[in-house]
Amino acid sequence: MGSPEEWWKTSEAPNQLSGPAPIKPANQWWIQEYVKTPWWKDPEVTGKAVLDNTGTDLNENNGKEPWWDQKPFSVQDEPEPLIFSKGVDNPFSDFVTQAVLPRLKGLNLDGEAEVITTEWFKWREGGVMRSPQQGAEPVKTEKLKFEEIANKGYGWKLHLNFDAEDPVKVQIVGDFLTGMKEQRAIFDFKVGEGGGKESDAPGKEATIYIGHRDKAKAIAPAIEQALDGMLDEPEGDTLTSDITFTKKISGRFDIGSSNDEFSGHGRRPNLRRAVRSWYEAELAEKSEEDFTESLLSKRYGKFYTGSRVVA
């Protein structure tokens, strides 16, 4: 009958309502290669049975929309890529040179974080502490340069809110952030791409990846100045998950899955549940919030806390 991923393209598909459901790959099966030529628009396929995991024919959906028009299986035509001005064509190059880069002079962004190694975490949580056959205890911590962490997109990031349905504003914001990235004032940015109202994430129309807190504090006012009149005030979960950098710019500290001690999002990462037992004595004396704050400060130093007030 063909591979499990293509069973719906066969003439036998309508007769397989009671057959085994195909295995859906974990990497977003609904936007794989075949979506470039949507199979459901093929007249030879339209109307044939389409099964879900349970073998139910989703084309007969009690009068509801076809399954491919429903979340989370909605497949949209890929939007035209956003093209922002680069190099000498970027209208913000001079502004970045004259108004942004000087704000970064004098900042000491060097330093190292000291984090738990993945090998030690697996050794500690896997119970091999009690198994001599597994060999000696791995190295517990490793040092990572602040720049190395930032260049992986971790650390402090800023959120911008604006009218993403206004193509002029999108172009201006994108051009400005492109100019910032080209001159290494920021590590990276994204406009849309999983953020913003279109993705049910209002307040995150653009995300700017910075790294060091001092750098984020220095750059935020320059961004607000450059985009004066473009930005709206924060909204959505940025009001609770972010801290305020300027009136219209908020941000948070994000280390993704790069540190096995912490997880989650919000104003700061949270202790992983598996890790709390390591710190029972400390948590008996401090609230989990206060202890997490102190542990993040210990692990990441000034990269997390910042070192001074930046005008």
Nearest to 245 by CA among 274, 215, 285: 215
pLDDT at 127: 57
Q: How far apart are CA 64 and CA 58, in angstroms?
A: 9
- What's the pLDDT at 78? 55
What's the pLDDT score for residue 222? 92
For position 287, what pLDDT does the model report?
A: 92
What is residue 311's predicted lDDT score, i.e. its pLDDT? 46
- pTM value is 0.69
- pLDDT of amino acid 63: 45
Q: What is the residue-level pLDDT of the chain in tens, covering all 311 positions?
A: 444 444 444 444 444 444 444 444 344 443 333 333 444 444 444 444 444 444 444 444 444 455 455 544 444 555 566 778 888 788 888 889 988 999 999 899 999 999 998 888 888 877 555 555 556 788 889 999 999 999 999 999 999 999 988 888 989 999 999 999 999 999 999 997 766 677 777 888 999 999 999 999 999 999 998 898 889 999 888 888 899 999 999 999 998 877 888 887 666 788 888 888 889 999 999 999 999 999 999 999 999 999 865 44
The pLDDT value recorded for residue 81 is 63
Q: What are the residue boundaries of the structural domains of the chain, listed by start?
A: 1-78, 110-311
